[in-house]
Amino acid sequence: MPDYDAQVRDAFPELADIEDDDLREKVVEAWRLGLERGGWSHVEAIPYAWNIHEVTNVEHVRGVTRIAADAAAQQRDFHGADPDLDVVRAACLLHDVGKCYEYVDHVDGELVDPDPEYATDEIPHSLSGYALAHEVGCPLAVQRAIPHFIGEIPSRTLEAELVKSANSASSNAITQAAMGISLQEWVDEYSQTQ
């Protein structure tokens, strides 16, 4: 079995910015569980999207984390807000961990050996990511900031909004660079085909 903990630590240097040691380890644990159950050969094998393989999920997650941390700093410095940066970073790092389950059918079979009990595209990755964060004991504030689609969570915290907006910013950059279209155009064109 691959050393998933080492893969995750190497793939996400932003983990080091989480000040709470326990929370940092829970983020690694959630990724390890997702990777094990998804049967992934390597964390870098997970694509950003089921039909965009030029960008890895790792690249996207790192981008979201960096964008959200930068935005949080602006909110603090310019507006006097006080977002919890550990919550923001942990939720960003976990916002797409559910792709470990959802995307196993969209890659070459040699990259995955999924556990069918977990690995399926029946549950959206933002919800399975929420479940993984819950299972490993992440604080409720982190769990609630992971679902990033409108309507999944009835009330959103400042930290959740940072995750959602950073995800949109990163996703728009990726779809524009990879396909020449906006995220909304990608959703409109491909949401019915998956």
All structural domains of the chain, each given as residue ranges with its CATH number in brackets, are: 4-190 (1.10.3210)
Q: What is the mean pLDDT of residues 43-60?
A: 95
> 176-187 in b/e burial notation, b at 16+ Cβ within 10 A?
eebbeeebeebe
Residue 105: CB atoms within 10 Å: 13
pLDDT reading at 194 higher than 60: no
Euclidean distance between CA atoms 177 and 179, whole angstroms: 6
User: pLDDT tens digit string along 25-35?
Assistant: 999 999 999 99
Phi, psi of 136 (to 5 degrees): -85, -5
Please, which pLDDT band fits residue 193 given cuts at 50, 70 and 90? Answer: low
Q: Which of 125, 132, 106 is nearest to 171 (CA)?
A: 125
Q: Output DSSP code: residue 41.
A: S
Q: Mean of the pLDDT values across residues 50-70?
A: 96
Instruction: Please classify residue 17 by burial: count the beta carbons closer than 10 Å to its beta carbon, then call 0-12 exposed, 13-18 middle and 19+ buried.
Output: middle
Write the pLDDT tens digit of every residue in 131-189: 999 999 999 999 999 987 655 565 789 999 999 999 999 999 999 999 999 989 998 99
pLDDT tens figures, 87-127: 999 999 999 999 999 999 888 888 888 888 888 888 889 89
> Could you tell me which of 136, 108, 132, 137 has the C-alpha nearest to residue 37?
132
What is the reported pTM? 0.94
pLDDT at 154: 57
